[in-house]
């Protein structure tokens, strides 16, 4: 199973619906905090225990749909489990007070999606206890409409939805769609090496250049610095949001292309385990600033879910020594890579682009994991 989440803006509801939605948001926040207090008092993280002891009283206190109330309970338990886990690991932790608004989670069997004759999609969900529901149109893009058509055609099933209002007052819905996936049997592996100079390099000699991205990010960094010196902090936040959205778009484009290549060639995709990548790639102050704005995990996650939908297997391997190992003779030495961008084996003299060598070694490790040989 693969879950795809659609973040869709809700078109402006009328005054009556807006009041009901705002009230639902506040009651849900209060319910989350109340369930957390009860879980603390009972010293439990068990859903069955908390439900048995508090659910009847919660139904009397909070005017919410019963399914939504259950979601508030699950939210409180999730928060408490996370708090206890951090404490056990010796990290600083404190229970949230739910002072800010919390996205309202609506269970998959409590809402519905419909398409009007005009082509507009509408979401219908409960805002209080009982059977009363409100319908709000969605500002669905072409991509959103395609995914929603999958739902209407039975290619996927709907999961839960989260509804919230951002700081600017706009309302959004995050709709989960669950696809049943079937992975194809691969006839080989394409290794993928992530970087800054080259955003991604594939073992089959496909390069995704990062020079334009770096230039644009450096311009943004200079602009943020000038705005900070001018005291225009609100503008700095706005510029940061634009940069994040642009980088997400770039990640979507790269991941889509990588999955298309792997599917066309009938191969699996091998990715490096990115745990600790920022510690492994520390460099100059300028380089670290570039790293902080480049979300490697986001790119990897995009490749993961797009590959699952396309039936392409993804293998994660330990990247240790992949940048120092000669793909021809297997010699491992830090002297094989005297410069950042070029690899030359000190034993056999093999030379190639350093990132391509990393991708080749990643693919070789993945093949070993599969028990296959070229």
Helix boundaries (H) for the chain: 15-42, 47-61, 66-88, 142-153, 211-229, 233-265, 277-280, 285-292, 296-310, 354-370
**3-class DSSP assignment, residue 11:** coil
- Determine contact, residues 228/247, Cβ cutoff 8 Å: no
Q: Write the secondary structure of 87-154 as one string of H (helix), E (strand) and C (coil).
A: HHCCCCCCCCCCCCCCCEEECCCCCEEEECCCCCEEEEEECCCCCCEEEEEEECCHHHHHHHHHHHHC
* 88-124: pLDDT as tens digits: 888 887 888 888 888 999 999 899 999 999 889 999 9
pLDDT of res. 58 = 92
Helix (H) or strand (E) holding 199: strand 198-202
Average pLDDT over all residues of the chain: 85
**3-class DSSP assignment, residue 7:** strand
pLDDT of res. 294 = 58
The residue to which tokens 């770039």 are assigned = 250
| HSE toward the beta carbon, residue 182, CA cutoff 13 A | 2
pLDDT of res. 319 = 80
pLDDT of res. 374 = 42
The residue to which tokens 């209080």 are assigned = 128
CA R_g for the chain: 25
Identify the segments of the chain with pLDDT beneath 50.
279-280, 372-374
- Determine contact, residues 175/161, Cβ cutoff 8 Å: yes
CA distances in angstroms from 368 to 139, 275, 311, listed in the order given: 47, 21, 21
**3-class DSSP assignment, residue 161:** strand
Question: Residues of 265-302 as b/e, b for ≥16 C-beta within 10 angstroms?
Answer: eebbbbbbebeeeeeeeeeeeeeeebbeebbbeebbeb
pLDDT of res. 347 = 86
pLDDT of res. 164 = 93
Among the listed residues 368, 339, 343, the one whose alpha carbon sits nearest the alpha carbon of residue 355: 343
| Calpha distance 266→263 (Å, rounded) | 5
- Determine contact, residues 192/304, Cβ cutoff 8 Å: no
| HSE toward the beta carbon, residue 357, CA cutoff 13 A | 25
Q: Where are the domains of the chain?
A: 10-105, 109-179, 189-370
CATH architecture type of domain 189-370: 2-Layer Sandwich (3.30)
- Determine contact, residues 260/237, Cβ cutoff 8 Å: no
Pairing outcome for strands 268-272 and 189-194 = parallel
| Calpha distance 140→151 (Å, rounded) | 14
pLDDT of res. 373 = 43
- Determine contact, residues 58/71, Cβ cutoff 8 Å: no
* 48-73: pLDDT as tens digits: 999 999 999 999 999 999 999 999 99
Q: Name 106's Cβ contacts closer than 8 Å, sequence gap at least 6.
A: 65, 67, 68, 71, 125, 126, 160, 161, 162, 163
Positive or negative CA dihedral for 201, 204, 205, 207? Answer: negative
Kindly report the length of the chain. 374
| Calpha distance 161→6 (Å, rounded) | 9
Q: Which two tokens stand for residue 168?
A: 């600017």
pLDDT of res. 195 = 78
Helix (H) or strand (E) holding 189: strand 189-194
């Amino acid at each position: 199973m693969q879950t795809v989440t659609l973040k869709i803006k809700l078109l402006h509801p009328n005054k009556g619906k807006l009041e009901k939605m705002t009230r639902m948001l506040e009651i849900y926040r209060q319910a989350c905090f109340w369930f957390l207090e009860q879980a603390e008092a009972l010293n439990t993280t068990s859903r069955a225990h908390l439900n048995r002891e508090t659910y009847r009283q919660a139904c009397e206190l909070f005017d919410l749909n019963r399914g939504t109330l259950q979601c508030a309970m699950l939210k409180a338990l999730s928060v408490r489990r996370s708090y206890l886990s951090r404490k056990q690991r010796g990290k600083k932790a404190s229970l949230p007070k739910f002072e800010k608004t919390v996205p309202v989670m609506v269970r998959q069997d409590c809402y519905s999606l419909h398409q009007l004759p005009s082509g507009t999609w509408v979401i219908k969900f409960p805002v209080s206890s009982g059977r009363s529901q409100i319908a709000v149109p969605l500002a669905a893009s072409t991509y959103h409409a395609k995914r929603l058509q999958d739902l209407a055609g039975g290619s996927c099933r709907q999961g839960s939805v989260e509804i919230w209002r951002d700081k600017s007052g706009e309302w959004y819905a995050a709709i989960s769609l669950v696809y049943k996936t079937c992975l194809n049997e691969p006839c080989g592996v394409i290794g993928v090496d992530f970087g800054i100079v080259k955003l991604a390099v594939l073992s089959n000699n496909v390069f995704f250049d990062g020079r334009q991205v770096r230039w644009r990010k450096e311009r943004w960094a200079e602009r943020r610095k000038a705005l900070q010196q001018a005291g225009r902090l609100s503008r700095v936040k706005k510029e940061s949001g634009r940069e994040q959205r642009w980088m997400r778009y770039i990640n979507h484009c790269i991941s889509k292309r990588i999955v298309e290549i792997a599917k066309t060639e009938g191969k699996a995709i091998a990715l490096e385990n990115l745990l600790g990548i920022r510690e492994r790639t520390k460099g100059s102050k300028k380089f670290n600033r570039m790293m902080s704005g480049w979300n490697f995990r986001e790119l990897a996650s995009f490749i993961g879910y797009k590959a699952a939908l396309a039936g392409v297997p993804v293998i994660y391997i330990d990247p240790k020594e992949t940048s120092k190992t000669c793909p021809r003779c297997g010699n491992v030495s830090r002297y094989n890579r005297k410069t950042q961008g070029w690899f030359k084996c000190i034993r056999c003299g093999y030379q190639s682009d350093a990132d391509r060598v990393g991708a080749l070694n990643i693919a070789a490790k993945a093949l070993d994991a599969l028990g296959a040989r070229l």
